[in-house]
Chain A
Amino acid sequence: MFPHLKSARVNLQLLQEAACRQLVQQLTLIEGSKVIVLDDAMIGPLGLITKPKLFSDRGIRLLPLKPEIRVPKEIRNIIYILRPQVSLMETLVTQVKANMLNGRQFHLYFVPRLSCLCIKQLENKDVLTAFGRIDELPWNFFPLEYDVVSMEMPHSYREVTIEGDFSCLFQAATGLVQLQRLYGRIPKIYGKGVQAQLVWEKAKQLAIDEKTLYNADRGAIDQLILLDRGIDLMSTLATQLTYEGLIDEFYGIRQNQLSLPGEHFSSYNAADMANDYGTGVQERLLATSDRKLIMLHSGEHLYSELRNRNFNEVRNVLARKVREIQLHMSVSREDQSVQEIKVLVERLPQLMKLKEATSVHTTIAELIDRQIKVDSFGEDLVAEQDYMNCEDIDRPSAYIDDLIARRTDLRTVLRLICMQCAAGSGFKERVLTHYKRELVHVYGLEVLLTLRHLEKAGLIRLQTESRAYAVLRKTLRLTLEGNPEINPTDISYVHSFYAPLTARLVEHSLRPLGWQTLKSQITNLPGPTFEDFQVQLIGIGGRHAAAAGSKGDGYMLHSRRVVLVFIVGGITFAEIAALRFLAAQEDNNVEFLIASTKIINKHTFLDSLMSS
């Protein structure tokens, strides 16, 4: 159903199909005409596992969860698919009350887990009896790409650090067990960080019952690297300089979809685009006529070629493509033989597609180019790069002070403060007090609450003795001068010269004895370093299984290792690009499956933490 998820080793189509099956199974249990009502946070994720055809084939309409929605009288069943959030219940209650009819049934599915709080809320409002089925759809991981799965939980880092709600960690653990059920036991596990360790411990605990998992041969995944977002906050705050990263930061990519004002696209035509890019579920619910929705995933060749490159390289690639197209299109001269024309005609559809894609991406690139030419973008970038290089991190930064004095947007200021803090692995007390004072004096007393959130999240803190970042910058070569942005030789190209710590850790662990050497180097990062092995249980049939296993090992020598990298708390496109870069290096002989709670960028991450 989703060809871009297909891959040889860990085929994520399986995951998508399994999730889809669960939904279909539930739908067939409910008899009669039905509509499905989705909350905003579910619309995108649902599109990742189903196609609208699934619903249209069954005559099911999809509606967003809004209080004013009225469902036509002839519909017998109203099915809600919601995130388990108490705040949604109020809307749900009003909607249920307004749509109550004789002989009509309501059904409620929580993703990924039933919530007793929500149910209690419904009980309090006397609508619980209106529901026929109340169940859960245990979708923890949503496949985004052939090598990326996301839990689509944008606020997980906030929930854990600020609110002390560990549900998402538990869900992550459940998700890991589900992945193993589909793809087999993961024999080796490395990890770093408190949250990461919690996730792993729960996953192990949950897997106690999964004896079959342990009795079976090793699965498709050879190794798991579990990292905590908390060990590398710098990378989340840094401006991403890859094509995909920049698109996300400026315009936001939601579940592989980009929505841009239609005016930028010359030949904009809604119907036309719907055919070309395949419509997702959300388009029907969210699409407004003056916006163009663009699907961004590896299903489109040009994008998969562009996405992970440094933006400076994108221009060149696009220019080359344009030349290529021109070359092919302009050869239609009179002196061509019939055969040559035939070949050209056969290639035409393909060329037209490429032309279309090139035009779309040229437009996007142009939009981004305009954005990064703005003065403040460059100035901020210079400032943040200074921090990355640990320059001037021990006193209040004049640049930040100036920004505050000019009353620049609070988020921009806080981002730079947090970056300075991350670079210094904390502030001296004097510096912190200064910033607090200045921020409160300029932006008002309410900033105190925002600051407290950032403190709880570990983004702003006092210095402790170890200067982890400064040390690791040297030992792990986090900043690297002289790495070209075009045809780079190191992952640091994703931030021009800074390599995300997470990706660097993964890179080091790939080397022989990598994790063992790494262990001693990263003791100054917060949280425990851990490793674990899940060996096959020897029991009945052990002999047979062992024989099969040895055969498997021989096979393993020749093929690539598959490493599941799971960053708890969110991952940036730049990090994904860095990991893909590592996978593309022949020497590493590795394939990654990248998992995270959500794909984040500097804006979404900070916004999530700052909101009250």
Chain B
Amino acid sequence: MPIMYNTGEWFKVRPDYYRKFELGTPKWPIDFDLEYMQVVAAPYGGPIAAIRDVTKLVPVKGSFKPMIRIFDTSGHELGHILWNHGKLIAMGWSDTEDLICVLENAKVFVYSMTGTEKESYSIGGEASVIKIVEAKVFQSAAGTGVAVLTTSGRIFLKQNSSKTERKLPDIPNSSVNCSCWEIVTEGRNSNCLLGREREIIKLIHGESVGTVTAHLFEKPHDRIIKISVSYNHQHLALYTNTGLLWLGSVDMRQKYCEFDTGRRDIPLQIEWIMNTHNSDADAVVISYPSYLLIVNRNADKSEFPYDPIMFLVAEMDGVRIITQTTHEMIQRLPKCVENIFAVNSQEPASYLFEAQNKFEEQSYKSDEYLSMCRADIELAVKECIEAAAFEFCPETQKSLMRAACFGKGFIENHNPEEYMNILRILRVLNTLRHDRMAMTLTYKQFSHLTPEIVLKRLVFRNHYAIAIQVAKHLIFPESWILEHWAYNQIMTNTNDVEVARKITEKFKNPSIEGISYCNIAEKAHEAGRDELAIKLLELEPRAEKQVPLLLKMGNYERAVASAAQSGDAELVTSVLLDVKKKVMLSKFHMLIRGYPLALNMYKRIMSQTSRTALYDIYNQEDDHQSIAEINFLTAIENDDLESNLSIIGNSYAQARCTSEADLCGDYARLFKQQKAFSTKHNRASFRGLSIHDTMLELLKMGQIKEVEKMKNEYRVPDRRYWWMRIITMAEKQNWDELDKFSKSKKSPIGYEPFVDVCLKNNNPTEARKYIARLSAKRKIFWFMRANLLNEAIDSAFEQRDREDLVDIQTKVQLTRDQALMDKITNYLAILDARR
């Protein structure tokens, strides 16, 4: 294989290849010199905090006030903190990219990466009383914690402000001469490793004393001066004052190697280089002033001279080096990259890569190379894709992806999922690595963080446009990004109209799902900008989300309006209940009257609970008909219609319900008459009877005069009067009187009712009299109903009504009267014959 691409960055620490490559060139401000700084950097290409190192002599520039400055990896200042809290012991970044500062008096301040204070708390307990000497910010399963070492030699851990501090066991014997310490997370617990003279003391939480491990080193030394724990808390590196390096597992049961660096100067930092292909580590990198040393488990080394001061940042798949002029990464060379680019590589991926190159050169050799990897083409494609993901240089990425694309054409039924996915992610990664974003993430880090977190970090850095593009590209919801952008607008822009306009402009894009104006309005309300909140709320289509906030803001009118508009009676009810508690009743009435649904619901609630409240509301609305009805209902319930009748009648009159008012008048008169009747006829009360029933009662008593008087007074129609008369007469079996009555004048109801009442009172003989006066057609019907079948047959025959005869026939069949049957058959025959 030809030598090409970035193999120059490679170096060998036997038996593995490592590479050290540039991530970018930070452009620090002119007045910023790393040399004199104490620097902490967050992993995942996160922000960097720097404060002047008080232990170093510094040429004075500018103000004396200590200041923490926060940068991104490309050197843009994100924010600064003017330090006026006292002696700063340690700084560190949390996993949520917050800066944690620990003070001498055990106070902890937490800042966002733009330098705004988020919270502060005290470690508490003994630590607050005694000063602290050293502090560490450490990562654990439960998030980022703070560990402090007090002057009394005790170590306290605190996970966050809400948890109480935990004390680790005392250091056995004496706490003096402890030269170094580190926090190690094992499972769920965070323990401490202390270096004292030639031994390592392990303080395990919950145990009464620490355990001491000695004799780790074979070669002579005085004391251990540095401890380093790998990123995954699996490996341990120890360094002695004599320049001996010990590598082993974190439980110290396994020793990988002991290595004599041969140097006497004190190393600045020791960090483990995590592998790219798994979560293990094989080598450490040690930084000295102007010298960088890499040592692996096999005690092989590689070294680089470095001019300026450097800071190491351990990552999950390598170590970053930040210097005044460069930003680099040391990484174990991924196997796939090695396979492709290594000199004389015989791997299929390498052949594929070459085949593609030749293909582009339109060289016949392409086929030769291809034939060499045809057997393992799938592996080749896979490795090319994988290698592209590891590369930082877009050109290299492209050529690798081209090779993969070329190769996958030769695979049957290739699933392009992975190919597409990597392409998509690489675009995102390249964008993130751009100077402006300065988030130098590797593919592995990106996958580990998950796109959601990455998006959150982008949003937090106010890179909204990029965040939205990334979200779109990766097919992630983007509404929350817009919402966050809107919060930001609310916090920073003071012009209500402009903010509202900007927000609506952005939000009206229909392709964005699930955006909530309400959340933003709530933020605006919290920021004390109710005007803006209302403007935003108006845009919220879902009333059930609008209403609670409107109520919270005390904007009852709008709350009622919006609930009523939603048509959701339940929502209206809840608003009514809430508002009624908070405003005066009269105001409440005015408030709801403009909204029919609200008014109706209120009426409905009140009709179940308070009739007086219902009365009030009708009164306000001048709804006299309803007032009449309320009074009416109350009167009925109290069984006191009589005394209320005038009020009810009046209300009806006011409501212009004349017929109802008249009827009330009728009954008012009736009640008086009923009383008179009771006394006159010495009879129990007529109370509760209707006009009709009163008249019937009187008729039964034979008081025809009085009934006739009432008939005129209440203008009872003749028809009803006749019915009334004949029913009572028939009921009393006054057949003669009924006969007389029928002849008194022409009946307004005809004579069928006469037949009917006779039949009802089981007198077919009387009925026959009246049937005679009916029309021929009706005769048959009533004869049949009176069960006078013989007569029915006769009249039907007279009428020559064949149909009726047949009807009668069916009825006769039931009686099994043979004579009648014969008669009908006979008649039918005659009728048929006449046809």
Contact = CB atoms under 8 A, between A and B. Distances in A.
Interface of A: 86-87, 113-117, 120, 163-167, 169-170, 173, 198, 201-202, 205, 208-209, 211, 375, 398, 401-402, 404-407, 433, 436-438, 440-446, 448-449, 452, 537, 539-540, 612
A424 B716 CA distance: 26
B821 interface: no
Residue in B542, B666, B691, B753 whose Cβ sees the most chain A Cβ within 10 Å: B691
B691 to A, nearest CB: 4
Nearest to A174: B568
Given A165-B604, A405-B723, A537-B510, 5 more contacts: A115-B570, A165-B569, A441-B692, A442-B693, A445-B641
Interface in B525-545: 541-542
Given A201-B567, A449-B632, A539-B511, A163 B600 contact: yes
Interface in B76-119: none
Chain B contact residues, majority secondary structure:
helix
B720 A405 contact: yes
From B569, B603, B688, B723, name the one whose CB has the most chain A CB atoms within 10 angstroms.
B569
B372 to A, nearest CB: 40
A170 B719 contact: no
Helix, strand, loop or mixed for chain A's interface? Answer: helix
Contacts of A205: 541-542, 566-567
Contacts of A164: 596-597, 599-601, 603-604
B807 to A, nearest CB: 13
Contact of A120 (B511, B577, B597, B599): B577
A213 to B, nearest CB: 12
A405 B567 contact: no
A165 B601 CA distance: 6
Interface in B507-522: 510-511, 513-514
Interface stretch (B6-14, B402-410, B550-558, B656-664): B656-664
A169 B567 contact: yes
A150 B89 CA distance: 72
Contact of B753 (A211, A402, A437): A402
Nearest to A539: B511
B574 interface: yes
A444 B645 CA distance: 13
B716 A449 contact: no
B727 A406 contact: yes
Given A166-B597, A436-B659, A209 B568 contact: no
Contacts of B632: 448-449
A211 B515 CA distance: 12
A166 B659 contact: no
A513 to B, nearest CB: 32
B491 interface: no
A185 B550 CA distance: 33
Interface string B554-579: 00000000000011111001100100
Contacts of B716: 441
Contacts of A167: 569-570
A252 B417 CA distance: 62
Interface string B680-703: 000000001111110000000000
B664 A375 contact: no
B570 A449 contact: no
Nearest to B719: A401
A536 B663 CA distance: 60
A445 B664 contact: yes
Interface string B606-619: 01100000000000
Given A375-B785, A405-B723, A437-B659, A117 B568 contact: no
Contact of A209 (B514, B574, B723): B514
Nearest to B691: A441
A405 B569 contact: no
Contacts of A166: 567, 569, 597, 600
Interface string B645-674: 000000000000001100110110000000
B577 A441 contact: no
Interface in B473-530: 475, 510-511, 513-514
A445 B667 contact: yes
Interface in B3-53: none
Contacts of B720: 401, 404-405, 438, 442
B749 interface: yes
B393 interface: no
B569 A448 contact: no
A86 B610 CA distance: 13
Nearest to B695: A441
Nearest to B692: A442
B379 interface: no
Nearest to A442: B692
B633 A612 contact: yes
Contacts of B570: 113-116, 167, 170
A540 B569 contact: no
Given A164-B604, A437-B659, A446-B636, A540 B511 contact: yes
B507 to A, nearest CB: 14
B601 A441 contact: no
Contacts of B600: 163-166
B293 interface: no
B193 to A, nearest CB: 46
Contacts of B511: 539-540
A416 B693 CA distance: 22
Contacts of B666: 440-441
A444 B663 CA distance: 10
A442 B691 contact: yes
A423 B508 CA distance: 51
Contact of A405 (B574, B601, B691, B724): B724
B663 A448 contact: yes
B660 A448 contact: yes
Contacts of B629: 449, 452
B220 interface: no
A612 B629 CA distance: 11
Contacts of B574: 116
A436 B719 contact: no
Contacts of B605: 117
B659 A443 contact: no
A195 to B, nearest CB: 11
A208 B512 CA distance: 12
19 contacts: A116-B573, A117-B573, A164-B603, A165-B600, A166-B567, A166-B597, A170-B569, A198-B567, A401-B717, A402-B719, A402-B723, A402-B753, A405-B719, A440-B663, A441-B714, A444-B693, A445-B663, A537-B510, A612-B633
A445 B688 CA distance: 10
A401 B636 CA distance: 27
Interface string B235-270: 000000000000000000000000000000000000
A117 B577 contact: yes
Most chain B CB inside 10 Å of its own CB: which residue of A117, A169, A438, A540: A117
A119 B607 CA distance: 18
A115 B577 CA distance: 12
A406 B604 contact: no
A444 B688 CA distance: 8
Contacts of B785: 375
A89 to B, nearest CB: 10
The 4 closest A-B pairs by CB, nearest first: A164-B600, A405-B723, A167-B569, A442-B692
A598 to B, nearest CB: 18
Contacts of B717: 401, 438
B375 to A, nearest CB: 36
Contacts of B693: 442, 444
A442 B719 contact: no
Q: Residue among A404, A441, A446, A540 with the most chain B CB within 10 A?
A: A441
Nearest to B760: A406
A329 to B, nearest CB: 28
Contacts of B641: 445
B663 A437 contact: yes
A265 to B, nearest CB: 24
Contacts of B569: 165-167, 170
